[in-house]
Structure 1
Amino acid sequence: MAQVTGHGGGVWSLKVPIPDNPLGHTLVHLLDTDAGPVLIDTGWDDPTSWDTLSDGLRALGTSVHDIHGVVITHHHPDHHGLSGRVREASGAWIAMHAADTEVVRRTRASRPGVWLGYLTAKLTAAGAPEEHLAPLRAARASGRTRTLPGLRAALPDREIVPGDLLPLAGRRLRAIWTPGHTPGHVCLHLEETHPARLPGNGRLFSGDHLLPGITPHIGLYEDPDDTTVTDPSPSSRLRSSRGDPIGDYLDSLERVARLAPAEVLPAHQHAFTDAPARVRELLDHHEERLTGLRALLATPLTAWQLAERMEWNRPWDEISYGSRNIAVSEAEAHLRRLVKLGHAEAVPGDGPLTYVAV
C-alpha cells in the first residue's frame, strides 16, 4: 500500500520502494499546478514501485494518466526510472538538467558491455584485486549487462535551466543547480510562503543533495569515453585530475545554505528544517574526511587501498561487492579534491594509480 504524506500548500510525498536497497524507498513528490499535477522524481522502474506510485496517486484523487509534467532532480534510476512509463501513460513532459540528460543519452547510445568494461578498467587502475575484477569480466562476457539499471532510461524532452523558474502554471518553482552527487543534480526552490508560516524562504525539494541523516554518495562523474582510466602515463594522470565532484558538492551546499529555506523536502528519509545547520554538519564531515585521508597518504596508496582504510558504517570485510565499488569511487573523488587543493599528487610509474600527500 502506498504511504502518502501531505505537506500542505498542494504538496504531497509518496513512498515508492526501491527493490533490494537499504534506503528502502524514494520520496516522490507531487505538486499541484493550475495545469495539472506535476511529479518531482518518479522512483525505480520496477512493477511493485509502479503499482505503489499508481496507488498513491489514486489515494490523492488523481492518477498516472493525469500527470502534466515530471521534473527530475537527477538521472539515477531510483529517481528517473519510472519517468518513461509515466510519460507513456499520460503524455507528460520530462525535464532534466542538460548535464544529466547527456549522461542518459550517452548511456542509451553505448554498445552492450561498455559500462562494465569501463568499470573494470577504472577499478583496475584503482588497484582492485583480481578476485574483485573477475565477476565484472564474467558478467560482460555472458551478456548480463542487459540487467544493469538505467541502460534504457527515458530521454527528457525539456531542459532545466539553472536559476530559471520552471513553467508551472500557478507555482513559483526555481531550479538551483547543485552538482556533486551527479553533474546535473538540481534542487527545486518553491518560492512560496510556507503553509505553516515557518520562518525561512519557502521550501526546497532537495533530491539527494541534502538529506537529514545520511551523506549522499559523491564519487567521480562516470564517463565511459574517458581514456585516462586505462592510460597509466604521467600525462594521463595529470589529465585525470579534471573534474572535482567533492568541490562541486561543497560549493553547492553553501549555495543551498544561503537560500535558507523554511523546510527541506528530500528524496529519502523525511522532511526537516534548519538547512544551514545540516549544511554545516556536512561541510565539517567532508573537511574531517579530507584531513584524515591526507594523513593516510603519508604512505603512497591506490584508491582501493585508501578505501580499505577509510571509515565506513561497517568494517571493509562486511561491505558488499557493489558497495565496495561505490566506496572506491568515493575514495577517488576525495583524492581528486586533495589533488586540486595541492595536498596530494599522483606518483609516476606503471600499474595502478598511486597517490601520496604533499
Structure 2
Amino acid sequence: MSEAGAPQVIDHRGGVWSIAVPIPDNPLGHTLVHLVETDRGPVLIDTGWDDPDAWDTLVAGVGACGFTLTDLHGVLITHHHPDHHGLSAKVREASGAWIAMHAADTDVVRRTREAEPRQWLDFLIARLATSGAPDDHLAPLREARAKGGGRSLPGLRAALPDREIAPGELLDLPGRRLRAIWTPGHTPGHVCLHLEEEHPGKDAHGDGSRRPGFGRLFSGDHLLPGITPHIGLYEDPESVGEVTDPLGDYLDSLERVGRIAPAEVLPAHQHAFTGAEGRVRELIAHHEERLAGLRALLRVPLTPWQLAVSMEWNRPWEQIPYGSRNIAVSEAEAHLRRLVKLGHAELVPGSDPATYRAV
C-alpha cells in the first residue's frame, strides 16, 4: 500500500489499468499487475508475490479499477516467477477465474511442485560445485540439506494453470484483440501480450496525432525501460533433453518484439514507456558488448564462478548478497552457453570444476 493507504493504480485508458503490487524485501519494489476489461469481465495480467500485503494491495487495486475479485474472468501469466504467478492460486480461489500460461512454463511449475525440496538443494549444490563455487559458499546449502531444509523455497506450491497460451494465439477475450507473443529467454515460456488496438492516447506533443507504432505491448520482464532482465539457465532437478541457450532465445525474442513496434510498452516493473524498437537495440547492443568482454576475459581459462566474479554488476561482488550470487553465476553460465554455441569459447576437456577458455 502507499503511505496514504490507497493502492498505486494508473488508468492507462481504453480499459487498461496497472496496479503496483509490492514485492517484499526486493529492490524492484513492486510488480505492475495489469487489468484489462473485456466483454466477459476483467482479466489480470500477472498477479504478484504471494504475501499478505501484496494480496491486500491487489484486492484494493482491483476495487480502485471499479471491480471486485468475483468479477474477474481470467488470469494471464507472462511467466512462472513468484513475483508474477505467486498470487494466482488465491485469485482463482476467490474469483473462479481461469489461469493461463505458456506450456513451457507450465512444465516448470509442474516439475517444481512434484520435486522434493531436498532435490532442489541437491541440484543447486551440484551445479554450483561444478561451476567452481568455493566451499564457504556451498557450506550453508549443505547445512540446510542436512537439516531437511528447502521447504520454504518460493514456487514449490505454485498454481497449475487451467489453460495454455499458444504462441501467436489471438486470446479468447470478447471485445479485445490480445495476441500472445512467445518470448523465451528470461524463462522458457515467457510471453508478451500485444493489444492489437489503436492506442487511445495522443502523442507527447499534444497535437492530436497518434503515437508512432501500433497497439500496446504487455511485456512482462522481457522488455523493461531501465533494467536488463536476468537471463540465466533454464535447468531444474527434473529437466531433461537438449542443452538450452537462454541468451540466444532472448536475443531472438527481442528481435521479434522489435518488429512488432508497439506504440507503448506496459512492463511488469518500473513504468510504461515508448520507443520499444530503440530499447530493443540497446539491449541487443548491451549483450553483444558483454559477450565480447567475457570472451576477452576467457583468454585465461576460468570457471563460471570466476567469470561471474570478474563480470560487471550493479555493485562490487563483495556487496552482492548470497542468493544473488547464485543468480549471477547462472547468468554467467548462460553467457558461456552462448559463446560456446557461437564457437567463441569451449570447455577445457577434463576440467573439474568446469573451466572455459576463449577460442
TM norm. shorter chain > 0.5: yes
Answer yes or no: is the 8 Å Cα contact 2:113–2:158 preserved in 1: yes
Q: Which residue of 2 aligns with 1:174?
A: 179
Shift of residue 38 of structure 1? Answer: 0.2
User: CA separation in 2, counterparts of 1:99 and 1:107?
Assistant: 13
TM-score by length of 1: 0.95
In the alignment, what sits opposite 1:31?
36
| Number of aligned residue pairs | 346
Establish whether residue 184 from structure 1 lines up as the match of residue 189 from structure 2: yes
> Structure 1 vs Structure 2: percent identity of aligned residues?
76
Mapping of 1:111-130 within 5 angstroms? 111-130=116-135
* Structure 1 partner of 2:20: 15
Q: Secondary structure of 2:225's match? A: coil
Residue type at the aligned position of 2:326:
N
Q: Which amino acid aligns with 1:210?
A: L
Specify the alignment match of 1:85 in structure 2.
90
Pairs within 5 Å for 1:129-278: 129-196=134-201, 197-225=210-238, 242-278=243-279
Q: Which residue of 2 aligns with 1:283?
A: 284
Q: What residue ranges of structure 1 are gaps of 5+ in the alignment? A: 228-238
For residues 302-355 of structure 1, the C-alpha deviation after alignment (integer angstroms, 9 at most, x for no partner) is 000000000011111111101100100000000000000000000012421000
Q: Whole-Å Cα distance in 1 between the matches of residues 95 and 238 of structure 2?
A: 35
Task: Tell me the CA shift for residue 143 of structure 1.
Answer: 2.8
Give the TM-score taking structure 2 as reference length: 0.95
Secondary structure at 1:103's aligned position in 2?
helix
Whether 2:323 is the aligned partner of 1:357: answer no
Question: How far apart are residue 222 of structure 1 and its match?
Answer: 2.4
Out of 76, 80, 84, the residue aligned to residue 75 of structure 1 is 80
**1:272-320 CA-partner distances (Å, limit 9, x unpaired):** 0010000000000000000000000001100000000000111111111
| SS of 1:53 mapped into structure 2 | helix
Contact 2:196 2:216 in 1 (8 A): yes
Cα root mean square deviation, aligned: 1.1
Corresponding position of 2:314? 313
Query: Structure 2: any 5+ residue segments left out of the alignment?
Result: 1-5, 202-209
Q: Distance in 2 between matches of 1:199 and 1:347?
A: 50
1:328 is matched with 329
Distance 1:6 1:357 in 2: 50
Q: CA deviation at 1:141?
A: 2.2
Q: Secondary structure at the match of 2:217?
A: strand
